[in-house]
Amino acid sequence: MNIELRHLRYFIAVAEERHFGRAAQRLNISQPPLSQQIQILEQHIGARLLARTNRSVALTAAGQQFLIDARQIMLHVEQAANKAARLHMGDEGELRVGFTSSAPFIAAVSDAIFVFRQRYPEVHLQMQELNTRQQLEPLNAGRLDLGVMRNTPLPETLDHQLMLREKLYAIVHKAHPLANQQSISVTALATEPFIFFDPQVGTALYTEILGLLHRYAIQPYITQEAGEAMTILGLVSTGLGVSILPASFRRVHLTDVAWIPLQEPDALSEVWLVWSKRSEHSALMKKMMALLLAG
């Protein structure tokens, strides 16, 4: 069979109008070509769909069933076209975003995700918590569309844009002698028992904070290692030692922890938005990128 969508559209018009002349006027074509196309449709099907008289048109039993199915087909085509258009415009579809454990505490990130959900409720936003090192391979393989991570060396296949720089803070127990200081130099932590990230975990904060300490000739006295920043905060709250974390974690309110700004101008942590150079920037990606980079 070589049935075209126009055949269905023509048949539906005739079946609904019960008149070739009115159907032709509705379709904005002349009546002879319409009659010819209906005949071709019936030949393709091998059944009479319409019982014609001089003044009206009636549906045969085959025609009644074909009208039901033709309407359903046209509805599916319209829905498919609308869905494709919404996907193209970025109003529908799926977006996969990797993020470090610190990302939800950054106002620019949490605000962007909130606005995205409000604007595009039909989009399936798949958020995956992965540390910086763990995001690189999925981004390369196309399993992630975007990654929110800390400053780290990237392979040539990935590109990035700086989202923000945030201050690094010393964190100490509220009873610590430094707790009431307005600000301190990082050198004040040189001899303190230090709670730090496990180097095997792969967090970029490990490299950033250790680099800061080394720039000021500090070899930290690490007494406890942890895989997550939240664990570090919890251990500092017990008085086991001190540490350094980005300002965004201040949104976690622990009454036993004091946050002290570091005086060094390079006591900063960078947050990057990362994507694969090989990936095509879909409308969804562009919309999320615009929100994340606006802050």
Residue 158 resides in a domain: no
Q: Are residues 103 and 127 in the same domain?
A: yes
pLDDT, tens digit (0-9, with 9 covering 90-100), for 45-65: 989 999 887 677 899 999 899
Can you tell me the mean pLDDT for 18-32?
90
Highest mean pLDDT (candidates 24-33, 160-169, 280-289): 160-169
Q: Are residues 64 and 11 in the same domain?
A: yes
**Do residues 245 and 169 make contact, with C-beta atoms less than 8 angstroms apart?**
yes
Identity of residue 214: H
Q: Are residues 39 and 182 in the same domain?
A: no
Average per-residue pLDDT for the chain: 91
Q: At 101, is the secondary structure helix, strand, or coil?
A: coil
Cα-based torsion angle of the residue sequence 20, 21, 22, 27 in order, rounded to the nearest 10 degrees: 80
Q: What is the pLDDT of residue 56?
A: 76
Q: Would you place residue 19 in the very low, low, confident or very high pLDDT band (cuts 50, 70, 90)? A: confident
Q: What is the pLDDT of residue 90?
A: 63
Q: Are residues 143 and 181 in the same domain?
A: no
Residue 203 resides in a domain: yes
Can you tell me the mean pLDDT for 274-287?
89
Q: Are residues 187 and 264 in the same domain?
A: yes
Contacts of 170 (CB under 8 A, 6+ apart): 178, 184, 186, 188, 189, 242, 243, 244, 259, 260, 261, 262
Q: What is the pLDDT of residue 280?
A: 81
Can you tell me the mean pLDDT for 170-183?
96
Can you tell me the mean pLDDT for 67-92?
80
**Domain final residue, candidates 65, 89, 113:** 89
Q: What is the pLDDT of residue 281?
A: 84
Q: Are residues 23 and 117 in the same domain?
A: no
Q: Are residues 97 and 69 in the same domain?
A: no
Domain around 54: 5-89
What percentage of the chain carries pLDDT values higher than 90? 65
pLDDT, tens digit (0-9, with 9 covering 90-100), for 184-195: 999 999 999 999
Q: Are residues 262 and 181 in the same domain?
A: yes
Q: Would you place residue 169 in the very low, low, confident or very high pLDDT band (cuts 50, 70, 90)? A: very high
Q: Are residues 111 and 203 in the same domain?
A: no
Res 1 pLDDT > 70? no
CATH number for the domain spanning 41: value is: 1.10.10.10
Q: What domain count does the chain have? A: 3
**Do residues 13 and 74 make contact, with C-beta atoms less than 8 angstroms apart?**
no
Q: Would you place residue 149 in the very low, low, confident or very high pLDDT band (cuts 50, 70, 90)? A: very high
CATH number for the domain spanning 287: value is: 3.40.190.10
Residue 16 resides in a domain: yes
Can you tell me the mean pLDDT for 243-249?
95
Q: What is the pLDDT of residue 89?
A: 67
Residue 235 resides in a domain: yes
Residue 153 resides in a domain: no
Query: Directed axis angle between helix 31-45 and helix 20-27, to 10°?
Result: 100
Q: At 108, is the secondary structure helix, strand, or coil?
A: helix
Residue 155 resides in a domain: no
Quote the DSSP letter at residue 251.
Answer: G
List the Cα angle 132/135/145 in 5-degree steps: 130
